Amino acid sequence: MKAGPSNSDAIKERFETLKRDALQRFGEIKGAEVPRITIGMATCGIAAGAVETKAAFEKAIAQHNIDARVEATGCIGHCYAEPLVVIENPGFPPICYNNVTPGKARALVSSFLVDGDPLFEYVLGALEENDMIPSVRDFPRFSMEERIVTALSGRIDPEKIENYIAEGGYEALAKALALTPQEIVQEVQISGLRGRGGAGFATGRKWEFGLKAQGESKTVICNADEGDPGAYMDRTILESNPHQLLEGMAICAYAVGAEKGIVYVRAEYPLAVKMIRIAIEQAEAKGVLGSGILGTDFSFSVSVFQGSGAFVCGEETALIQSIEGKRGMPQHRPPFPALQGLWGLPTIINNVKTLSTIPAIIKKGGEWHKQMGSPKSPGSAIFSVVGKVVHPGLVEIPTGTTLRTLVFDICGGTPHRKAFKAVQIGGPSGGCLPEAFLDTPVDFDSLIEAGAMMGSGGMVVMDENSCMVDVARYFLDFTQKESCGKCTFCRIGTRQLLNILERITKGEGREGDIELLTTLCEEIKEGSLCGLGKTAPNPVLTSLKYFRDEYEAHIKEKRCPAGMCRALTAFYIDLDRCARGCDACVGSCPVEAIFTTRDRKKAIDQTKCVKCGECVAACPPQYTAVKRVSPPHLAPRIERPQEPQE
């Protein structure tokens, strides 16, 4: 049977059968009057101890000899609350619990499942409106998000395709197969979707190139080579809802006429690799992937390629080189991969988020997507908001939301009443924006205008204790290591930039360094071929522009205003605050730099101190005697007594 409008009824019928099966399987599970416990088991959940929590639930259920099911799901994006558990107990709304330790798990089983007391002190909120328990929707972290890509993440079992189909999955694929490829490309063009990988190229246009390209065979590649240190949304999507991505890939393949698909995922993400492999296998078994999809003549097979960890391979021509078994070095464009890509054949490369948005666009129409967010880059944007913020995690918001709303309203602002200093957007290619830019709407053009960029969506919030020079040095250290070495300006230029920044953070900055940095930055931008080199100086340029005073303090006064640069700071113990006979800090010091003074108080041997800050944490809050100063010579010198005191 031929795919297209002529067979739309047959395709629809085929899909309906599939959906009925799935609903039946899931209806049985959901209809059963048995409590259901769902635990977030993506990488972050496991790191926070979800495995132990799950084991505790299972053991407690067995001990109480009750009938309950314990299931794993993906990540909901609320990393601050991990391990996150949802309990659906018949007679109660589904309730979400945060930071569930094994102890809490045992308590929940005996109190909630056995005695019917939902333990209000542990509740984060109910997932549905009800009169018993406040809903999570009262919480801005939930209510202000608008989820397209991550709508089902953390709500379905990523290892069960039926669960995705029961929630409306693969419906868009069935709809797409009843359209002509031209109609799909047009719909995507109407939607105004721009590539979510960072550069923001119009997806519809890319697909149009792909559709028109001539070649023996075409390939669709999903770029999941997420290398930005501080961004992990692609991994979360792969781990929590891999089918949505596969559906988007299949629609793309049908639209451009491709038969082969490759998911290029980092080998450092073992769980994501496992999940996508399972998903491919299941989708092929169900006939929504592989040969003769949904009974039509359209075939599309997907394989997984594990990237070996090179940041530059996120660039599409470098990614192709890497699949071909070579060093991942970017190539000149044109020819664009859409015309001559993998093995010289037409290749469409889209990011995970872009492809995962496609099913919703096909289902609800391009116009619906265009209405959402800001007019020039419509849709939603996913950010991983981390750093000095109260509620870190993944946030999906409509584009055009201001940074202030994102950082302060949704993520709760900076903790410990520290002053907000800057937000770093876009990872190593982005820039640091100060408070004055908090009202910038987040979309491709506004951020570039401000000097940052969307990039992969990594967002690091920094407070008064973060040193901007050190952050610039950190990113340069990263890009310098990741430069592939093809362009001289990028290879040697970033090295020189790093050398200068290292000198400055060590207190060896010289007059004229700032000017030298500026010139070098401009030259690297000019002289580099790919995005890595062109954007590598951004962290330096923006921090120089908005935080020049910090650079000057480092160079002229040898002082780090934030007290971060270790060479420019020193710890000392305020003898007026130190409690006589207290030993709290002594054991915490990893290098035994703390000694007892003649009057049985403590002092730090500056020659031994490695400035790790452990003693600050160890000093009891009623004393807070350990102080940090910059420049280091401000710390009072206290001699170690000759004879050890008893």
* Minimum gap (Å) between residue 480 Cβ and other proteins: 13
* 197 in contact with other proteins (CB under 8 A): no
Q: Does position 229 bind other proteins by CB under 8 A?
A: yes
* Beta carbon of residue 78, minimum distance to other proteins (angstroms, whole number): 9
Among 3, 22, 37, 43, binds other proteins (CB under 8 A): 43
Q: How far is the CB of 305 from other proteins (least distance, A)?
A: 8
Establish if 315 lies at the interface with other proteins (CB under 8 A). Answer: no
Ranges within 479-518 binding other proteins (CB under 8 A): 484
Indicate left, alpha or beta for 441 from its phi (over 0: left) and psi (-120 to 50: alpha): beta
List the x/- string, 512-551, binding to other proteins by CB under 8 A. ----------------------------------------
For residue 211, give both structure tokens.
């559709």
Contact 193, 31 (CB under 8 A): no
334: its two tokens: 């044109």
CA contacts within 13 A on the Cβ side of 498: 17
Does the protein bind other proteins through residue 48 (CB under 8 A)? yes
The beta-strand segments (E) located in 472-554 are none
Q: Are the beta carbons of 539 and 467 closer than 8 angstroms?
A: no
Please list every residue from 318 through 347 that binds other proteins, using CB under 8 A: 322-328
User: How far is 455 from 413, CA to CA, in rounded Å?
Assistant: 22
Count the site residues for other proteins by CB under 8 A. Answer: 58
* Interface positions, 260-299, toward other proteins (CB under 8 A): 267-269
Q: How many CA atoms lie within 13 A of 380 on its CB side?
A: 22
* 584: nearest Cα among 606, 602, 562: 602
By CB under 8 A, is residue 47 in contact with other proteins? Answer: yes
Return the amino acid letter for 210: G
- b/e code 224-236 from CB counts within 10 Å (16+ = b): bbbbbebbbbbbb
Inter-CA distances, 51 with 42, 67, 393, 523, Å: 10, 20, 20, 50
Among the listed ranges 369-377, 473-481, 527-535, 568-576, the one in contact with other proteins (CB under 8 A) is: 473-481
**Least distance in Å: CB of 584 to other proteins?**
12
* Shortest Cβ 98–other proteins spacing (Å): 12
Spell out where 412-466 has E strands.
Answer: 420-425, 431-434, 458-463
Distance CA(39)–CA(274), nearest Å, equals 18
Q: Count H helices, E strands: the chain?
A: 24, 18
Smallest distance from other proteins to CB 485, Å:
9
Q: Shortest gap between Cβ of 403 and other proteins (angstroms)?
A: 17
Chain-centre distance for alpha carbon 315: 18
Distances from the Cα of 427 to the Cα of 198, 242, 432, 452, 505, angstroms: 10, 25, 9, 9, 20
How far is Cα 35 from Cα 389, in angstroms, rounded to an integer? 35
Separation between Cα atoms, residue 465 and residue 53, nearest integer Å: 34
What Rg value do the Cα atoms of the chain yield, rounded? Answer: 28
Give whichever of 173 and 460 is closer to other proteins, judged by the CB atom: 460
Residue 529: strand, helix, or coil? coil
Structure tokens at 577: 């605050």
Rank residues 126 and 272 by Cβ distance to other proteins and give the closer one: 272
Which among 92-100, 307-315, 352-360, 635-643 is the span making contact with other proteins, rule CB under 8 A?
307-315
Judged by CB under 8 A, the residue of 460, 570, 594, 638 near other proteins is 460
Q: How far is the CB of 427 from other proteins (least distance, A)?
A: 7
> With respect to other proteins, which residue has the nearer C-beta, 296 or 483?
483
User: Which C-beta is closer to other proteins: that of 294 or that of 432?
Assistant: 432
Least distance to other proteins from the beta carbon of 208, Å? Answer: 28
Please answer whether residues 347 and 193 qualify as being in contact, where contact means their C-beta atoms are separated by less than 8 angstroms. no
Least spacing, CB of residue 87 vs other proteins, in Å = 22
When binding is defined by CB under 8 A, the residue of 143, 182, 308, 645 that contacts other proteins is: 308
User: Which of 92, 368, 474, 623: binder of other proteins (CB under 8 A)?
Assistant: 474
Cβ proximity to other proteins: between 37 and 231 the closer is 231
Closest CA to 589 of 602, 576, 599, 579: 602
CB 304 within 8 A of CB 276: yes
- Footprint of other proteins on 64-123 (CB under 8 A): 79-80, 82
Residue 26 and residue 127: Cα distance in Å, rounded? 19
Q: Which two tokens stand for residue 373?
A: 């967010």
If binding is defined by CB under 8 A, does position 150 make contact with other proteins?
no
Between 466 and 538, CB nearer to other proteins: 466
Q: What are phi and psi of 450, to 5 degrees?
A: -75, -10
Does 246 help bind other proteins (rule: CB under 8 A)? no
Shortest reach from residue 150's CB to other proteins, in Å: 15
Q: Which residue, 267 or 285, is less far from other proteins as judged by CB? A: 267
| 577-616 footprint of other proteins as x/- string (CB under 8 A) | ----------xx-xx------------------x-xxx--
Out of 232, 254, 437, 444, which residue is the one contacting other proteins (CB under 8 A)? Answer: 232
Q: Which of 197, 200, 227, 632: binder of other proteins (CB under 8 A)?
A: 227
Rounded to 10 degrees, the C-alpha dihedral 362/366/371/374 comes to 100
- Within positions 422 to 441, which residues make up the interface with other proteins, using CB under 8 A? 424, 427
Q: Can you tell me the distance from the alpha carbon of 400 to that of 41, in angstroms, rounded to the nearest whole number? A: 32
Which residue carries 């550069």 as its tokens?
A: 199
Least separation in angstroms between CB 414 and other proteins? 12
Query: Which residue number, 218 or 473, has a Cβ lying nearer to other proteins?
Result: 473
Q: Identity (one letter) of the amino acid at 309? A: G
**Given the rule CB under 8 A, which residues bind other proteins?**
43-44, 46-48, 79-80, 82, 227-232, 235-236, 267-269, 305-306, 308-311, 322-328, 384, 386-388, 392-393, 424, 427, 458, 460, 462, 466, 471, 474-475, 478, 484, 587-588, 590-591, 610, 612-614, 617
